[in-house]
Structure 1
Amino acid sequence: MTADPNTLPAFKTSAPYGTKILTVAATVWFTVATIGQWLFATYIILFYGKSTFSGDFARWNKVLPHGYVAGDWKGNMVVGLHVLLAAIMVVGGPLQLIPMVRSQFPRFHRWLGRLYVTTAIIVSTTGLIMVWTRGSVGDTIQHICISVQAIYIISFALLTINYARKRQFAKHRLWALRLYMVANGVWFFRVGLMAWLLINGGPAGFDPDTFTGPFLTVFSIITYAVPLSLVVLEMYVYAQRKQNATFSLFTAGVIFFFTIIMGIGIVGATMGMWLPRL
């Protein structure tokens, strides 16, 4: 989430008060999200890298149910490719949105952009294969929701490429932002779930053994199928365009609220999942 559809903002003292607060909210959100995503990427690289190079592939199953199946080299390769490319996406996504990187290193930005959208399409495709052929935690509704997210990712990636080729850069950057939001759906789900567990002092509204229940059904819908991340992004873009003080302040408040939830989830995931598994 950036301060306008095109780039991360510089803080403008001449901007209306509501816009200033909105800019601060978006910048804080992006900073917290980047820290959390790079922590997650570090965990992915260390956990899967260590188990892979040591030959302990069965350790994948501590994180991914049926992640490794003895004798199924094709399926295992799909899982490994999915994980590797997911790490690239988590690292590369924030870099694409930092204006200094784009302005100072335009060639790097273009090549990273090509890699990012290609990776997004491959990760989504391999994710679909894993969900429907390897089995996954959760119920059918959750699987359908995450499949809808994969369709979003592939569609938004193609639109991002299309507008870049047409040199319609305002539209290109807006669709790149939308792609970034849906491409991080699994990460949003993880940190959101950890925040829920911390706030409630444990599982609430779902069965942790079967990973099903009303909370997870609703949470899957608002994270994957009808993503709140996209709703907030569209609110933000609209507020930037209209420059209405009341709506800008309201949107900033929403962003600050989700930043707090996200921050709680990042701390919970880091201390409760990522560090203990390394």
Structure 2
Amino acid sequence: MASRTWLVPSGLVALSLVPSVAGAARLTQLATGAEVTEANQRFFDLPLPVILHIVGAVPFCIVGAFQFSAALRRRWPRWHRLAGRALVVCGLVTAASGLWMTFAYDLPAADDAATNVYRVIFGSGMLASLLLGLAAVRRRDFRGHEAWMIRGYAIGLGAGTQFLTHVPWLVLSVTPSPFTRSFLMLAGWVINLAVAELIIRRPRATHVRRDRRLVEAAG
């Protein structure tokens, strides 16, 4: 039973690893003054948004995974609340800096205009979801809070699923066309949000019991 309790958080952490490692590598490049190439020049020209994005996204995805552990929420409700507050800040920084990068950086050759449109749509959606989740918990609408936070987390974890959608091309050592890459990026976000909606729309009794526990924990 314990192993099943931690199955979802473990899977989410695993899904976060590739973008987290890539982000750490990018920060190392910027910190050590790595060779400037056509692919990374935009990050050296304007490093702040990408630094904020990585610093916000890594804890948001990895620590946020443990918010899906019912056992952890029941045993340490104070941790759930404190971590949640920090994660909202990290998520807002991630979404805002992602939008900043979309508008500030030149479009890479591997992308097309549709990719940036998707980034704006889902970045704005993540920002709105987190703010709506924060507003919901302030009025003690715990079910609404949970739903909006799950949606925000799903969008934030998009990079992990986008890596999976690119795997066939990576295995074949083929570079997808800008149109194909745009579709693969969109697929990552859509898959995550579809799974999020399935989680949110579980039987009502599950939510009722959880609402009761959260109300009791909040005092």
3-state SS, counterpart of residue 202 of structure 1: coil
Which structure shows the higher helix fraction?
A: 2
**1:1-278 alignment, distance < 5 Å:** 31-38=10-17, 40-42=19-21, 44-45=23-24, 47-48=25-26, 50-51=28-29, 55-58=31-34, 64=40, 66-69=42-45, 75-137=46-108, 138-198=111-171, 201-203=172-174, 206-207=176-177, 212-213=178-179, 215-224=180-189, 227-238=190-201, 240-241=202-203
The whole-number CA distance in structure 2 between the counterparts of 1:43 and 1:153 is 21
For structure 1, which runs of at least 5 residues remain unmatched after alignment?
1-9, 12-23, 70-74, 244-278
Equivalent position SS for 1:83? helix
C-alpha distance in 2, partners of 1:62/1:191? 25
**Cα drift, residue 141 of structure 1:** 0.6
Q: CA deviation digits over 1:252-278, x for unaligned, max 9? A: xxxxxxxxxxxxxxxxxxxxxxxxxxx
2: CA distance, partners of 1:172 / 1:195: 36
1:169/1:63 CA distance change after superposition, 3 Å:
farther
Greater alpha carbon shift after TM alignment, 33-42 vs 154-163? 33-42
| Identical amino acids, percent of aligned pairs | 17
Q: TM-score, normalised by structure 1?
A: 0.62
1:7-53: per-residue Cα shift (whole Å, max 9, x none)?
Answer: xxx69xxxxxxxxxxxx7x97565333223146435534x245445x
TM-score by length of 2: 0.77
CA positional deviation for 1:127 = 1.3
Q: Partner amino acid for 2:23?
A: I
Q: CA deviation at 1:107?
A: 2.2
Between 189-198 and 151-160, the greater mean CA deviation after superposition: 189-198
Q: Deviations over 1:181-216 (max 9, x none)?
A: 111112221232124432xx2327x33xxxx13x22
Moved over 4 A (4+): 26-30, 59-65
Give the equivalent residue in structure 2 for 1:7: none
What amino acid is the match of 1:56?
Answer: T
Contact 2:126 2:155 in 1 (8 A): yes
Amino acid at match of 1:180: Y
Q: Partner residue of 2:215?
A: none
Look up the equivalent residue of 2:64 and give its one-letter code. G
Q: State the partner residue of 1:21.
A: none
Kindly provide the amino acid, as one letter, of the partner of residue 10 in structure 2: T
The amino acid that maps onto 2:195 is: V
Matched letter for residue 144 of structure 2? K
Q: Is the 8 A contact 1:51 1:60 kept in 2?
A: no
Question: Is 2:95–2:127's contact at 8 Å kept on the other side of the alignment?
Answer: yes
Q: Is the 8 A contact 2:56 2:90 kept in 1?
A: yes
Q: Which residue number in structure 2 is paired with residue 269 of structure 1?
A: none
Calculate the aligned-residue CA RMSD, in Å.
Answer: 3.0
Q: Which runs of 5+ in 2 are unaligned?
A: 206-219
